[in-house]
Amino acid sequence: MRRTRLAFVAVILLSAARAAGAPPTVPPAASPSAPPIPVKAGDTIRFDLSRLPNALEGEGKALCVGTRIAATGPTEARCEPTFRFEAPAGEMRIVYTFRPAKGGGETPIALPITRERKPVSFAAPSDGSIVSPPPTPFAKEASDGAARRAAEAQCGECRGQGFSLQSFEVTKSPRPADGSLPIRIEVASGPRR
């Protein structure tokens, strides 16, 4: 008979890296002092992803260039609108780690940040523990693509004619609307020998 016990509910808060040139990251699922989840050989670890968002929201600033009519005729004009955008959540991964109790290599457990109805399962190959994820870089290409599309749309709102996007900047890295990524983890005990 398999008995399921709820290990913990991990809430991962996304935050933007403020350091120059540093990519946005996902902080660890739990505080650094949170203990790993102990598991036995044969246990099944289920990661419930059913409450994850479909998209992550970010903000940015665009620089649009076009023309406006002045008393002296058409002049070059600049417009700097701010915008919000949604980046697809599935482009980011959270990586938990299975750490064996007695030597051996660690096993990464990569989870997409995509809402799934069925839990993602992992079978513990030996006694050990599940360790919370370290910071994980966000896929900058997906973020930049979504930001560029939103910035281009904002240039169409500038007063004047022929405004086009010259550049854009992501001012707030993509994150869930409520600021968290709830992942529930359950450990189902395997058969004991």
Which residues have CB under 8 Å from 163's CB, separation 6+?
64, 65, 66, 77, 79, 155, 156
User: Would 146 be classed as within a structural domain?
Assistant: yes
DSSP structure class, residue 91: G
Decide if 78 is inside a domain.
yes
Residues 6 or more apart whose CB falls under 8 angstroms from that of 100 comprise 106, 125, 126, 127, 128
Task: Give the pLDDT band of residue 15 (cuts 50, 70, 90).
Answer: very low
* Domain enclosing residue 38, as ranges: 4-188
CB 176 within 8 A of CB 56: yes
Number of domains, the chain: 1
pLDDT tens digits for 134-192? 655 566 777 888 999 999 999 999 999 999 999 999 998 887 766 667 788 899 887 65
Residue 142 lies in a domain: yes
Residue 57 resides in a domain: yes
The predicted pLDDT at position 31 comes to 38
Give the pLDDT band of residue 93 (cuts 50, 70, 90).
Answer: confident
Question: What is the pLDDT, as a whole number, of residue 65?
Answer: 96
Please indicate, yes or no, if residue 128 is contained in any of the structural domains. Answer: yes
**Per-residue pLDDT reduced to its tens digit, 27-43:** 333 334 457 899 999 99
pLDDT at 71 (0 to 100): 84
Q: What is the residue whose two structure tokens read 């030597």? A: 103
Residue 193 lies inside a defined structural domain of this protein:
no
For the chain, give the mean pLDDT. Answer: 77
Residue 56 lies in a domain: yes
Query: 6 with 167: CB under 8 angstroms?
Result: no
Is 167 a domain residue? yes
Q: Kindly give, in sequence order, each residue whose CB lies less than 8 Å from that of residue 175, ignoring residues fewer than 6 positions away.
A: 14, 15, 16, 56, 57, 58
Residue 92 pLDDT: 72
- pTM metric for this prediction: 0.57
Q: How far is CA 77 from CA 64, 105, 154, in A?
A: 8, 59, 15
